Amino acid sequence: MNPSHPPLSACLPFWDALTPAQQERLSQASACLEAAPGTVIHQGGADCAGVLRVIRGRLRAYILSEEGREMTLFRLLEGDLCLFSASCMLHGMQMDLSVEAEEPTLYWRIPAAVYGELMETSAAVAAFSAQLMARRFGEVMALMDQVLSKRMDARLAALLLQERTLQGGDTLAITQERLAHHLGSAREVVTRTLKYLQGEGCLTPIRGGVRLTDIPALQDLAQS
């Protein structure tokens, strides 16, 4: 591992609650890895990449429909940890979820078997994992509620505002195809909705993305 990378001990909130033997086992088994944009780190329920902890960059967790259509469930930013990529260690639960890097990403990978051992032997790890899983399930359920109850223009407005936060500005480098993947929709639907938002003065199309021109209007729409 590059010395400039933070040690695993600084990346896990339960580290100090582990025994020296558990810390040693975790350190020896884990790996610090890099992924280029577009790299699929974990692919579906048949895969078991292990527990992922983002050091730098951004990962995207998504599901794939029978028709091959993607829908983003949540993003993993610096400091976030993903357990769904190690669902094989969670008895009775298989998540058909994939994880890819959205930008150059540095992350720790903890083998599922090792993390599973810790969940069984450490109350701190078990408690942390239960809280994290509950929070992620809450995010997924909130997303499903949006899909079922919100119009596409409101969902797209919310996504554009999220991208604004992630990219740090009103000019977004994101394609219509990528927006469709996030929303679990067809590109044609996204194209029509973007044209509607353009007509409302909320955005202007640019090459390879959009420029947001009326943030308050998008915020009102996203909350409708």
Class of domain 8-148: mainly beta
For the domain spanning 150-222, the CATH number is 1.10.10.10
Mean residue pLDDT across the chain: 89
Where in the chain do CATH 1.10.10.10 domains reside? 150-222
pLDDT digits (tens, 9 = 90+) for 21-64: 999 999 999 999 999 999 999 887 666 778 999 999 999 999 88
Where in the chain do CATH 2.60.120.10 domains reside? 8-148
What is the reported pTM? 0.80
SS3 track for the chain: CCCCCCCHHHCCCCHHHCCHHHHHHHHHHCEEEEECCCCEEECCCCCCCCEEEEEECCEEEEEECCCCCEEEEEEECCCCEECHHHHHHCCCCCCCCEEEECCCEEEEEECHHHHHHHHHHCHHHHHHHHHHHHHHHHHHHHHHHHHHHCCHHHHHHHHHHHHHHHHCCCEECCCHHHHHHHHCCCHHHHHHHHHHHHHCCCEEEECCEEEECCHHHHHHHHCC
